[in-house]
Structure 1
Amino acid sequence: MQRFTLTLLTCSLLAGCFGGEKDADELCKAIPGMCGDLNIGDTHCKKDRDPLVRARYTAIISGRDLDKFEELKATKMFTRCMELSSVISATQLSDANARRMAALVHSAAQEDKLLMELSTSQAPEIIYYRWTQGDELAKDQFLALESSERLNTPYLKMALAGYYTHSDKAHAINILHQGLELVNSQMPLENQLILSLATLNLQIDNIEEAYVWTMVAAQFELTSGTDRLMRIKPIDMATHEMLQKKAMLIAEEIEMGRYRRQ
């Protein structure tokens, strides 16, 4: 019953199941004290504060590591905004700036708190994040998951491929294709999968594949096309047209969530 109540509360307040989506102020009122450190009411950094309120609310309700991770990312965005937009100095000590300074200090402290809470999380996304922050143990933990289904998302495949881009380009290419095969309505495309396929194929002198993936990238408006490639690795127009047709088919398959490597 308690789980149902919490789910219903999340649904009605956050997702707006019975009406429009609730705004940040309403979520703050739903859990007293949740927003006390965010300087609510200040127009500074509102575009980053509101997503943080939603992420914090969700993390409190669910208690899930991945939701705490979303809160961490939102907190970082808010902290960076406060650092950039709140010019606080000894000559500008107004009440407003004092409140902004307090919000900045609290936000930075919350980052540290969340990092500590997630330091032992076994969620692959969080392990990868710890790796990107210089944690060598997390690197080993993440790479140990390579053969498991726990990395079966486009984002995690992209992350894994990045490790092999210098040491084993062919393996990295295989992983990138696996990432594209996972794209569907629940797991959106990571653009870097396509861009990396274009780059890596060019680096190993697989010219036709480099053309194809550059063309696919252009279909998704990630590049302007093959003009630069034509200058450094020219091909005849008949081949260009053939590869263009192949690229258009691949782009359609990716959009439909049914791409499979040929």
Structure 2
Amino acid sequence: MNKGPISFPYKVVITAISTLLLAGCFESNRSTAQLCENYPQICNKLNTEDGQCRHERTDLIWLRFDVIKKPSDLNKFDELQLTKKYAKCMSLAAQIESTTLKSKKTLRTEALFHAYDTIDQLELELKSSYQPSIIYYRWTQGDQEALEQFLKLEETEYLDSPEMQLGLASYYVDKDKVHTINLLMKSLTLYDGRSSMTMEKTIPDVVKSLATANHSLGKLDEAYMWALVGSELGLAIAKEAQIKLLYPMIDERRALIADISDDIASSIESGNFDKSMLIQLSGLPPLSRTQ
């Protein structure tokens, strides 16, 4: 018996067609101008007719598009960060008098106020987020409830990233120097050598903090070594002559520590750092006053 063609539910067909149309629309945005035309709400109230803060504005527009496609907390957090970057740029641009059109200053001011309103709105939307990076951000903005939430995550895998370990270290730095050093070392251990942003933004602070924390504990070999590691990584630290004055020792000892620091700097860059590498320092003879 011929039962005829199999029919699909009407809603399923409509949903499939809508999905394809939406996907096609996403793929058709081949320029920022076209994106603004297709999604005017993304670009509304931004200084799109102005050359000021063009790069910051373009990054923000495309990130807003990502939020439309996937409105996750992390995407919204990225939008918050880029909005702050855009607002910082616009705060300077709003003070610039345009030589060709005076009304541009007003438009820049309006764009700046729009950015501030967006920041407030995004922070409100993220206030109940359980993402560790967002909890940490809220704490840095003065939210003490967020600090309690953040500290409860200390022994969990949710903070197993260089950035989050550095965040924990910043809390303990004035409370427990030894624990601070352990957290900073863990931060380096968790770096896998892949993220250029982590290498540029997080690792320098970790290395500098290790030098400072060890120095404050009187662990001069370690402090000197981390200062040299910073130098190997191209960080802005004291000049070599100043470091030698700060850490007086015989040339042989200085050379041995320099070798260790070179190995450690290389291991950090490749993402293979292990705190056991510091055992080499324990093999050095005690540092005497005459050294």
**Residues of 2 paired with 1:71 and 1:64: CA distance?**
11
**Secondary structure of 2:40 counterpart:** coil
Q: Say if 1:216 and 1:250, in contact at 8 Å, map to a contact too.
A: yes
Asked if residue 206 in structure 1 is aligned to residue 219 in structure 2, the reply is: yes
* CA–CA separation in structure 2 for the residues paired with 1:173 and 1:261: 11
For residue 169 of structure 2, the aligned residue among 132, 150, 161 is 161
Equivalent residue letter for 1:210: A
Q: Distance in 2 between matches of 1:45 and 1:108?
A: 15
Decide which of 234, 258, 261 is 1:247's aligned counterpart.
261
2:208 to 171, 195, 211: 195
Q: Structure 2: which 5+ residue stretches go unaligned?
A: 1-15, 277-291
Residue identity matched to 2:126: L
Percent identity (aligned)? 33
Superposed, 1:69-88 pairs within 5 Å as 69-87=77-95
The alignment status of 1:34 with 2:42, answered yes or no, reads yes
1:244 partner amino acid = A
CA deviations on 1:65-87 (whole Å, 9 max, x unpaired) are 11111111111121122222212
What's 1:261 paired with?
275
SS at match of 2:153: coil
Residue correspondence of structure 1 range 35-50 to structure 2 within 5 A = 35-50=43-58
What letter is aligned with 1:40? T
**TM-score, normalised on structure 2?**
0.79
Give ranges in structure 1 of 5+ residues lacking alignment.
Answer: 15-21
* Amino acid aligned to 1:156: M
Shift of 1:157: 0.6
Determine which of 43, 49, 55 is the counterpart of 2:63. 55
Task: Classify 1:68/1:172 alpha carbon distance in 2 versus 1 (closer, same or farther; 3 Å).
Answer: same
Deviation of the 1:3 alpha carbon: 8.5
How far apart, in 1, do the equivalents of 2:144 and 2:234 lie? Answer: 36
> In structure 1, what is the Cα distance between the partners aligned to 2:22 and 2:62?
15
Q: Secondary structure at the match of 1:40?
A: coil
From the superposition, tell whether residues 136 and 225 of structure 1 become closer, same or farther in structure 2 (CA, over 3 Å).
same
Q: Which has the larger radius of gyration?
A: 2
Distance across 2 between alignment mates of 1:206 and 1:123 = 36
Maintained 8 Å contact 1:146/1:160: yes
Q: Tell me, yes or no, if the aligned pair for 1:185 and 1:257 is still in contact at 8 Å.
A: yes
- Structure 1 window deviating more from structure 2 (122-131 vs 27-36): it is 27-36
Relative to structure 1, the CA distance from residue 122 to residue 4 in structure 2 (aligned partners, 3 Å threshold; closer, same or farther) is farther
Equivalent of residue 233 in structure 2, options 203, 220, 227: 220
CA contact under 8 A between 2:94 and 2:105: conserved in structure 1? yes
Structure 2: distance between partners of 1:202 and 1:88: 45
Change (3 A) 1:101 1:35: same
- CA root-mean-square deviation: 2.6
9 and 121 in structure 1: CA distance in 2 versus 1, 3 angstrom threshold: farther
Q: How far does the alpha carbon of each residue in 1:37-62 deviate from its partner, in whole angstroms, 9 at most, with x for none? A: 21212112213211211222222221
Compared CA separation, residues 177 and 81, structure 1 to 2 (3 A): same
The 5 Å alignment of 1:110-125 reads 110-125=118-133
| Of 215-224 and 116-125, the range deviating more from structure 2 | 215-224
Judged with a 3 Å threshold, the aligned counterparts in structure 2 of structure 1 residues 139 and 206 are, in CA distance, closer, same or farther, namely same
Between the aligned partners of 2:246 and 2:37, the Cα distance in structure 1 is 60
Who is 1:17 aligned against?
A: none
Taking a change above 3 Å as real, the CA distance of residues 121 and 9 of structure 1, as seen in their structure-2 partners, is farther
Q: 1:240 to 1:41 in 2, by over 3 A?
A: same
Cα separation, 2, equivalents of 1:171 and 1:39: 47
Shift of 1:186: 4.1
What letter corresponds to residue 147 of structure 2 in structure 1? K
TM-score normalized by the length of structure 1: 0.87
> Partners of 1:249 and 1:110 in 2: how far apart?
46
Q: How many residues align?
A: 252
